[in-house]
Structure 1
Amino acid sequence: MTSGSNAPSPKCPIFIPVEQTHINTSITKSPGPKFRVASYNILAQVYVKSSLFPHSPRSCLRWKTRSQAILTVLKSLEADILCLQELDMFDSFYKPNIENLGYSSIYIQRSGDKRDGCGIFYNPNIAELVFEERIEYNDLVDSVNEETITLDVEPSTNTKAPAQKDVHPDRGDPDDPRVRLKRDCVGIMAAFRLKDPTHHLVVVANTHIYWDPEWADVKLAQVKYLLSRLNKFSVSVSDKFECDPSVIVAGDFNSTPGDKVYQYLTSGDPSSPSKPECSDELPMPLRSLYAHARGREPTFTNCTPDFTNTLDYIFFSPSERIKPVSFLDLPELDSADVSGCLPNLHHPSDHLPIGADFEVIAD
């Protein structure tokens, strides 16, 4: 790694204990084994252009420097299950280097000619992979052909958007649902058996939802498909292993707190005031980790001069089997390490990692 004042110096992560007032007080059993989940949009190098990040020091955009800074962040998180988005150079760089840290991995590359994707890295000493499935949101096009899905296209009131890292050439009429839904976005789901005395099964999904705020209908269609697939996957795991698995969903949802996508994702939680506007049925119950653990979402997880807001989330199924006991502390806007926006010498991506420790409650 380079030396001197311009050398990257990723911030050491700090996990904050969850206050007892924010957790399920009906769970009073003795402390059980814990596992850590983290999620991070690492910013694919294919999207790193000085024209997109003119505010960033040139040195922290160079792959030789940035790649090592990313590895430093990932190692410091000490996650047992690590969900990464915008993961490019999987076979040539990330897979061998992260596996050198003791992880195993699964991966899905985006559809079409896209070079990045979503990956789940896991500690095989903590969790055993027993089942996996991949999600390609382009499959929604078939639903249009079968007339099982429609899009409610509305003009957007958003005036700002995340960095436009994924701009497409014209692929047809944007008013055609088949064109709108073909965004080459993906996700991946996995079931893990924890290697502790509980042998509890945990279903983990990792996804990256389409970015454009003008296409909120596409985002909503994608998260509906995600939860539909996730529900079927969880039922399959339950039937196959005769268990009631916990569910954790992580990723870059390109959606801000309170918007339609966020409302839909949390509307299945009985404690949530949100109700989906476009469905007669509630989705599977999910609770936002940060909103639950500390009473509010982070101030931001994505920080650039043109857009600063929360886009990244970890959701979990409220149950008597797992509970969050700590969460990764995140900076505020006046924190020195985010001065000048991201990426910078402290944060190698334009996103921040998020994470939590979960405790398994024994039967």
Structure 2
Amino acid sequence: MFSRPFVPISQGGVNTLAKTLSPISKDLKFTLLTYNILSPSYMWPKVYTYVPERYKDWSFRHELLEYELMHLYKADIMCLQEMTHRDYDQFWAPTAMKKLKMGSKFIAKTAPKYWKQPEEELDGCGIFYNRDMFEFISSKGIYLNQLLSAFNEQEIKYLSQRELDLTDGNGAPTGSTNLLQFLRDKNQVCLFVTLRHKPSGLIFVVINTHLYWKYDDVKLSQCLVIMRELRHIVNDLLKAAREDIDITNDKVRILFTGDLNSTRDSLVIDFLKGQIVSNMDLTLVNPMRTYLNHCVYDDIPQEWFDNTCYSGKLKGIFDYIWYHDTHFQLSKILTGKEVSQELKRNNQFGLPNVYHPSDHIPLLTEFNVLM
């Protein structure tokens, strides 16, 4: 956990802007972290058979998480997934305010059909922000299964006719349904927090989500809902009349983060890059492509990360930060290859372990704000 270097991109990175830009003022730098912290409710016995019991213990993992987030990284913006409502209310929100003077917002999922625990144990997404650097403007949380109005009539028809072959965790067939019904039954959420960056006066819309873990059509549909909601939020910002904040189109910047459960060659990533995604009679284009054209992996050597998720059989780069490369310049990143090397050296199958409290590793970055 402590040996991963926070590497300057100019030392071996692939961002060509680093060679041409003038030195950036310290005031125009900020750190951003996205991290799936693995809810204790999802420590499934059948999945984490490779993890010793002492490292499954929530109090053990929670102590490590507190050290990472509140002492080791202390990012100016923290986007956390799989945080429980109870833990947010009783620990993370008050502790972040007391120790780091951070404001925060949170949205919890709704209870799925199988849920037997108290509702306070439901997980969701939280965004924490440095109040010395950012002024809070507004926030909005959405339930992705309740925003099917984001689709037009042709798209709804396609979703209702698109058959989805269902599988269990091992890939064995379990039946089928249509994509529309499946989306309605899922409980994923997304959180939007709008902030004014005090040093620059720019407006940051920070987004945090955790997409469903399988089926490309499901993840793509959920991502489309998020982007269309983001379009409404940005349009509303541009229409807003607030005397103390001058909001114009060139002052709005987007940071889209989260566990997208999508590899870099997936439909979701193609869609976010602005590529036209065609699926049978449906053609989709990201409506926010003018604000998002880059993710952090575009600016670093490929060998710096093997995975960001090390959950037994489920391994891959699933955690992302998206932005536009004329708005932000990636200047540092906490590399991930050392985790793979550590697991191989110790003959371990995956995470969590004694050094890592989650089955994901945190994606920690530093950005320059481009004016």
**Hey, what's the Cα distance between the residues in 2 that align with 1:324 and 1:23?**
11
Report sequence identity in percent: 26
Query: How much does 1:110 deviate?
Result: 0.6
Q: Is the 8 A contact 1:23 1:323 kept in 2?
A: no
Superposition deviation, residue 201 in structure 1: 1.6
Mapping of residues 83-162 of structure 1, within 5 Å: 83-88=79-84, 89-102=87-100, 103-112=102-111, 115-142=122-149, 148-149=155-156, 150-151=158-159, 152-153=162-163
Cα offset, 1:80, TM superposition: 0.2
CA deviation after TM superposition for structure 1 residue 35, in Å: 0.6
CA contact (8 A) 1:109 1:116 kept: yes
* Contact 1:11/1:347, CA 8 A, preserved across alignment: no
Q: 1:66 aligns to what?
A: 61
**Which segments of structure 1 move beyond 6 Å, counting only runs of 4 or more?**
144-147, 156-161
Aligned partner of 2:271 in structure 1 is 264
- Is 1:292 matched with 2:291? no
Q: What residue number does 2:243 align with? A: none
Unmatched segments (≥5 aa) in structure 2: 113-118, 241-245
Task: Give the secondary structure class of the aligned counterpart of 1:345.
Answer: coil
Q: Indicate how the Cα distance of structure 1 residues 280 and 48 shifts in structure 2: closer, same or farther if over 3 A, else same.
A: closer
3-state secondary structure, aligned to 1:95: helix
Q: Hey, what's the Cα distance between the residues in 2 that align with 1:188 and 1:261? A: 18
Tell me the amino acid that sits aligned with residue 83 of structure 1: C
Deviations 1:172-213 (Å, cap 9, x if unpaired)? 9732623443211001011111122x222211100010112x
Distance 2:269 2:168 in 1: 15
3-state SS of the aligned residue for 1:100? Answer: helix
Q: 2:198 maps to what in 1?
A: 195
SS of 2:69's equivalent? Answer: helix
Instruction: Say if 1:16 and 1:329, in contact at 8 Å, map to a contact too.
Output: yes
Q: 1:100-150: CA deviations, max 9, x gaps?
A: 332211000012356000000111111111121112101244567966533
Q: Is the 8 A contact 1:265 1:283 kept in 2?
A: no
1:157 to 1:29, Cα distance in 2 relative to 1, 3 A: farther
Alignment match, 1:43: 38
30 and 143 in structure 1: CA distance in 2 versus 1, 3 angstrom threshold: closer
TM-score by length of 2: 0.81
Taking the aligned partners of 1:24 and 1:235, their CA distance within structure 2 comes to 29
Tell me, yes or no, if the aligned pair for 1:289 and 1:324 is still in contact at 8 Å.
Answer: no
Q: Deviations over 1:303-326 (max 9, x none)?
A: 13312111111111232x421111
Pairs aligned (count): 334
- State the alpha-carbon separation in 2 of the partners of residues 142 and 173 from structure 1: 24
Larger strand percent: 2
1-structure distance, mates of 2:41, 2:166: 28
CA drift of 1:26 comes to: 8.8
Range with greater deviation from structure 2 (105-114 or 310-319): 105-114
> C-alpha deviations, 1:222-256, integer Å up to 9, x for none?
00111111122123223434232111100000111
Secondary structure of 1:279's aligned partner: strand
Q: Tell me how far apart the structure 2 counterparts of residues 154 and 295 of structure 1 sit (CA, whole Å).
A: 36
Structure 1 counterpart of 2:211, which letter?
I
Distance 1:188 1:318, change over 3 A: same
RMSD over aligned Cα atoms: 2.9
Of 326, 331, 347, the residue aligned with 2:356 is 347
* CA distance 1:276–1:26, change in 2 (3 Å): farther
Q: Secondary structure at the match of 2:358?
A: coil
What is the aligned partner in structure 1 of residue 115 from structure 2?
Answer: none
CA pair 43-315 structure 1, distance change in 2 beyond 3 A: same
CA, structure 1 residues 26+237, in 2 after alignment: closer, same or farther (shift >3 Å)?
farther
Counterpart of 2:76 in structure 1 is 80
Which residue of structure 2 aligns with residue 275 of structure 1? 276
Q: Does 1:15 align with 2:6?
A: yes
CA–CA separation in structure 2 for the residues paired with 1:291 and 1:158: 30
Unaligned stretches of 5+ in structure 1?
1-9, 162-169, 269-273
Aligned partners of 1:154, 1:173: CA distance in 2, in Å? 5
Any conservation in 1 of the 2:165–2:177 contact (CA below 8 Å)? no
State the distance in 2 between where 1:11 and 1:153 align.
Answer: 46
AA of the residue aligned to 1:232: H
Q: 1:216 to 1:345 in 2, by over 3 A?
A: same
